[in-house]
Structure 1
């Protein structure tokens, strides 16, 4: 099975945005049951770490194997930095969240497009090889 790491990166970034923006509105009763994932720092940093690992995998492969462009890497790095800043400056989280997710999703999209554009995929593990 081939994994499209950029698609996975976009999916996890969008899931993170939904978690951060919508979950507090829908799940305000969770603390009544002793469940607190809304402002749980361990959960938040785990999600950031997951997004980071998936992004590094996708962007490293694209950079080394296909296009050699630093643009997606720089955008992704800025997005991850903003996610960390969102946790540090929690009172202003929304000001960091929206640009962070936008940059991360855009980085994955640009990486995917650059990989497909080169047409140089000879690695059978590339999910974008024939998609």
Structure 2
């Protein structure tokens, strides 16, 4: 479970970096043969992977370890922001970039908070 927290946090941070870099690199990547990085398929794959890892780590940790809602709330806020941004805002807008990056950072912080709680909780069920 511990490794999945780190995988989830890393995936979320990669997602944030991807969202920040794409508006700047969208014209250069095809020239470099890296147009795959701009594909909607990759973006939705990152979103799906981040969501799946988040649920696979946060729900069992909540249930079996710390019973704290903070990581789940951070995850739901961040993932909801990501999905809302994708469905409601125009592709390539500065608001879309801001929403995606902010959502990804919330998801990463959910995983890091979950990691901290699973290792510092004094009333956890082991």
- The answer, yes or no, to whether TM exceeds 0.5 is yes
Bigger shift: residues 24-33 or 6-15:
24-33
Provide the TM-score with structure 1 as the length reference. 0.77
Number of residue-to-residue matches in the alignment: 120
Deviation at 1:31, TM superposition (A): 3.2
* Residue pair 2:12, 2:104 contacting (<8 A) in 1 also: yes
Task: Report deviation, 1:22.
Answer: 1.8
2:34 and 2:73 mapped to 1: Cα distance?
A: 40
Higher relative CO (CA 8 A, sep ≥ 6), structure 1 or 2? 2
Query: Secondary structure of 2:35's partner?
Result: coil
Shift of 1:48: 0.4
SS at match of 2:106: helix
Instruction: In structure 2, list runs of 5 or more residues that go unmatched.
Output: none
- TM-score normalised to structure 2 length: 0.80
The verdict on how the C-alpha distance between 1:4 and 1:36 changes in structure 2, with shifts beyond 3 A counting, is: closer
1: distance between equivalents of 2:101 and 2:34? 29
Report runs of 4+ in structure 1 exceeding 6 Å deviation: none
Aligned to 2:71: 72
Query: 2:103 — aligned with what?
Result: 100
Contact 2:8 2:53 in 1 (8 A): yes
Give the whole-Å Cα distance in 1 for the aligned partners of 2:113 and 2:66: 11
Alignment pair present for 1:37 and 2:40 = no
Distance in 2, Cα, partners of 1:17 & 1:37:
13
